[in-house]
Amino acid sequence: MTVALPRPCRPPDDPHAAPPTGPPAVSAADAVSPADPRGRRQWRQWYECVLGWPTWPAAEGRPLELITGVRFDALGMPAEAGFAVLGRVPATGPVALDGRARRMWFLTAVGSADELPGLLAWLEWGGIALELSVLGPGGRLVAPEPSGARRALRGPYGPGGAVEAVWVRPPEPGGSVEPTLPVTGLGGDGGAPDLVRLVSAAATECHRNRLLRAARARRDQPPDRPAGPGDPDDQALAFSYASRISAGTRPRSFTL
C-alpha cells in the first residue's frame, strides 16, 4: 500500500484561507448537525495540515483513522498495562488511548512493527502469550481528539459528544514526530527513546496483568471447583521463569 504524505494544505471550503496552525474549534451547529461534516473535516485538516500525518477518510458512522507505516508504527497493549508502562518509561513519544477497545497505543519509529517478534525472542518472551500488537504499513489507528480541541462539544467519532480515542501523551504541533519515536538502540538517535526498553516494559506489564487476572479468576471461583489443565489461565501461571521477569529478577528484562 503506497500512501503519499500530505502537503501543506488549506481548508477545502476556503482555498484562500491560511492553513490551520492549532486545534480545531467546533461550533454548536457542527455538533448537532449530522449532515454537516465540517467538524470531522477540521479534525482531518489538523492531522494532515498541522502534523503532516496521512489519514483514512471516515465513512458514515466510523471514526477518522491515522495511517501507520508512513510517519510512525504503533505498539498496542491493554490500557491497564499501558498506564503501568507510562509510569516506568518517562520518554515514550506520543501515546494514544482507544477508550472503546481499552487499548493504549505507543507510536514508534517506522519499521519497528517488523522488529517486534525478534525483540520479544531476544528478550526471551518467545512462546509466552502476550496481549501486544503492532500496526505497521497499511495499518489504521483510530485518530484521537486533536490535542487542545474544545471538549464541550464532542460526538461518538468527533465533535458532538464522547470521543472514542484521546491523546495521553500528545504530539507537538509544528515539530517533526520522528525524533520523539522509540527506535532500536540504547537511547536512539537525536534523543529518541529506546524501543528495546519500551518493549521490555510492555511485555513485563502485559504478563503481570495476565497473572493478576488469572489470580482474580481463581479467587472468584467456587471453593469446591477443582482446577484442571484446561483452565484458560493455567498457561500464564505455569511460566514460573516468566513470572520472575515480572519481578525484574532477570538481567535481560531491562526492567525499569
Q: Please give the Cα distance from 76 to 93 (Å, whole number).
A: 14
Using one digit for the tens of pLDDT, what is the confidence trace for 7-17? Answer: 446 444 444 44
Q: Give the mean model confidence (pLDDT) for residues 175-182.
A: 91
Instruction: Tell me if residue 195 falls in helix, strand or coil.
Output: helix
Residue 149, pLDDT score: 60
Q: Which residue has the cell 467538524?
A: 39
Residue 190, pLDDT score: 57
Residue 197, pLDDT score: 93
Q: b vs e for 232-242, b when ≥16 Cβ sit within 10 Å of the residue's Cβ?
A: ebeebeebeeb
CA-nearest of 160, 165, 161 to 143 is 165
Q: Give the mean model confidence (pLDDT) for residues 251-255.
A: 46
Q: Please give the Cα distance from 246 to 225 (Å, whole number).
A: 28
Q: Give the mean model confidence (pLDDT) for residues 220-240.
A: 53
Q: Give the mean model confidence (pLDDT) for residues 140-147.
A: 90
Q: Which residue has the cell 486533536?
A: 146
Of the given ranges (79-83, 198-202, 208-212), which has the lowest mean pLDDT? 208-212
Q: Please give the Cα distance from 75 to 54 (Å, whole number).
A: 18
Are the CB atoms for 204 and 253 separated by under 8 Å? Answer: yes
Are the CB atoms for 40 and 64 separated by under 8 Å? Answer: yes
pTM of the prediction? 0.73
* pLDDT over 80 at 63, yes or no: yes
Residue 32, pLDDT score: 32
Residue 23, pLDDT score: 47
Q: Give the mean model confidence (pLDDT) for residues 94-103.
A: 94
